Structure 1
């Protein structure tokens, strides 16, 4: 049996030629047998079978392949980890599926609550359109190594590719990116971007344009007359650096000087240090004459706004607040103006991009950035001393 790592002793063309020779010799090929014969992973064998089917050289069946005239209704016996031979029914494409690959999409996201459910729902809807089913796994922002979870997803029967939101910090990030490339399984990063190697080769990705979202928020505040605009970021979120980049770009566009804005990195709101940071933000607002804040994310924005009001500031009369994420911003009182990332659209685009990669493995690498929306509500208004807008 294969150890799970391809030795790459043969080129893909030679490997597929050997697969076809085995099919001609035996009349049927089984994934489990080919992994040992070719000394490659099951993922590589399945990918070769898909490619050869697209070329009209064989017909894929569950567990293996038969000649193009073979009966595809009978699954090929497969062997599980206990050595027991059996069959399972492959999922049929949905009736509304467009022409494209059938099978499963493995999805790994860092959380199954807050923010990510909206992205996953978009993935599920798009997968149905392509006749694909979704196999979802949750990782963790604290996960030191996500490769074991990815390896398990890659071994799922009929998996066609992976949609992954890996950690982008820490020492393991480059290793995960390298694993994705070396696995040769089609993959798309979602809400993440990564490069690899000395030439900075990019991995395929779909992201929200968070920098644009922050820029929109600051321009909205500037349009209300605000010149002192602060930024409060979540220290733990991978989104923060892009929000900060957009905020700084907007400040440069608008000619705001370093004396007219400030930036704070907040710890997790459940940490014992968080209340002290919020108090410091409010104190800095009062001391510096700051009249507007962009806060990532919604819960943190609500806490900052509430603490400001408890300190005697009116929201939005003295301090306008824009939240970033718009998960629960509209529930606060006053309802909070917020930047809304395109979660559903990002999920749909990621699966669509993966399906196109499976159908055309040689297409150029695509990176897609989707624009967020600014939802204006009650927490932003004219800067103190500015006339109300008509």
Structure 2
């Protein structure tokens, strides 16, 4: 398989980091590429601040002065930081944006790797970040279910640089559980949704949810916990949702199950994870003659595109951007604090908000 430019850049950075400095001709020879290719790679990496380049020679960037010292430098200025995410779109786009904003404010440079929800690639991707010069990393593993967390979690706990776990909860008592982490409290988000629907006298809501991501599983667990907290019994089992474009038959089964629950009078409210599924569910229910919010009060979970539905959807909004921002601030703190005064590890849970719109029959408003 032909080596990608990103992989070649990682090897080049690893060579310079190991040696401290190198001539471009030497790098071309070690990388087995033409001098023109090596020169272009060096120019691209120097433009990003990952290398210093002078007269045909490159060196690893120097860090002058103490963080926050008399020179007035920001605490993280000059740091190179890495972020491993399962995706750069939908949910994680906002998480990445928050992390990038915090890195920029600290004067640090952020580099990104994507696992595409392949947990077996997580360790290689983090090693790639280290090869690219990352001195600390934010890690959102590509887990889909508990089996991935058990199989791949401990490997990420062995990183040789400070790391913060991002939007993932480690197995209790595992090595990964000893890392700093910043997550959304999805259980709180589900409780907000159920309380809102109950206050509208809509009865106990059903849950329609996927089971293919840690967020989906956390929503499911939060639903069971919320029912217990509120002293309620579910009007029926959780309805398993699947993407309509990937499994049309499975999606139709989910819609029919929800339709029958409403048509029989067992339910008149539902929480649906995620936004895209919720919009498509509402569209299909309308084709079957069931209206939102007249027949069914509905709240979506994620609040990525919920406001864009024909009937704008009330939605639980996890604090995605703030999660990325606070995780990055915590990582910078770890990298710049005095080792003799190192603070205790932290597990931070940030609370989602409820954004009220038209789909639950209530007047649109702000937060819950």
Given the two structures, how large is their TM-score scaled by the length of structure 2? 0.76
Aligned equivalents of 2:58, 2:175: Cα separation in 1: 45
- Map 1:273-292 to 2 at 5 A: 273-292=250-269
Residue of structure 2 aligned with 1:117, choices 93, 97, 104: 93
Q: 1:238 and 1:91, CA in 2 relative to 1: closer, same or farther beyond 3 A?
A: farther
TM-align CA RMSD = 3.1
Deviations 1:328-349 (A, max 9, x none): 1001121110011111101101
**1:113, CA displacement in angstroms?**
1.2
More helix by share: 2
Structure 2 residue aligned with 1:341: 318
Structure 2 residue aligned with 1:87: 58
1:207 aligns with 2:183: yes
SS in 1 for 2:272: strand
Structure 2 residue aligned with 1:54: none
Structure 2 residue aligned with 1:365: 345
SS in 1 for 2:286: helix
Residue of structure 2 aligned with 1:316, choices 271, 281, 293: 293
Q: 1:81 and 1:115, CA in 2 relative to 1: closer, same or farther beyond 3 A?
A: farther
Structure 1 residue aligned with 2:227: 251
Q: Is the contact between residue 101 and residue 160 of structure 1 (CA under 8 Å) also seen in structure 2?
A: no
Aligned equivalents of 1:353, 1:194: Cα separation in 2: 18
Aligned equivalents of 1:103, 1:154: Cα separation in 2: 13
Structure 2 residue aligned with 1:268: 243
1:326 aligns with 2:296: no
Q: 1:96 and 1:297, CA in 2 relative to 1: closer, same or farther beyond 3 A?
A: farther
Deviations 1:171-220 (A, max 9, x none): 55346433333222111111111147668843221111111001100000
Residue of structure 2 aligned with 1:353, choices 309, 313, 330: 330
- Map 1:187-226 to 2 at 5 A: 187-195=163-171, 201-226=177-202
**1:233, CA displacement in angstroms?**
0.7
> How many pairs are equivalent?
312
1:161 aligns with 2:132: no
Aligned equivalents of 2:73, 2:95: Cα separation in 1: 20
SS in 1 for 2:255: helix
Structure 2 residue aligned with 1:99: 75
1:303 aligns with 2:285: no
Query: Which runs of 5 or more structure 2 residues have no equivalent in the other structure?
Result: 1-10, 32-55, 65-70, 363-368
**1:77, CA displacement in angstroms?**
4.0
Deviations 1:243-279 (A, max 9, x none): 1222223222333224x34311212332232223222
Q: 1:356 and 1:195, CA in 2 relative to 1: closer, same or farther beyond 3 A?
A: farther
**1:300, CA displacement in angstroms?**
0.6
Q: 1:316 and 1:113, CA in 2 relative to 1: closer, same or farther beyond 3 A?
A: same
Q: Which moved more, 1:279-288 or 1:193-202?
A: 193-202
Structure 1 residue aligned with 2:354: 374
Aligned equivalents of 1:199, 1:227: Cα separation in 2: 43
Aligned equivalents of 2:161, 2:355: Cα separation in 1: 39
Aligned equivalents of 1:266, 1:375: Cα separation in 2: 23
1:135 aligns with 2:106: no
Aligned equivalents of 1:191, 1:200: Cα separation in 2: 13
Query: Which runs of 5 or more structure 1 residues have no equivalent in the other structure?
Result: 1-31, 33-41, 44-61, 66-74, 383-390
Given the two structures, how large is their TM-score scaled by the length of structure 1? 0.72
Deviations 1:128-164 (A, max 9, x none): 111111101111124533211111111122x221111
Aligned equivalents of 1:268, 1:197: Cα separation in 2: 34
Q: 1:81 and 1:347, CA in 2 relative to 1: closer, same or farther beyond 3 A?
A: farther
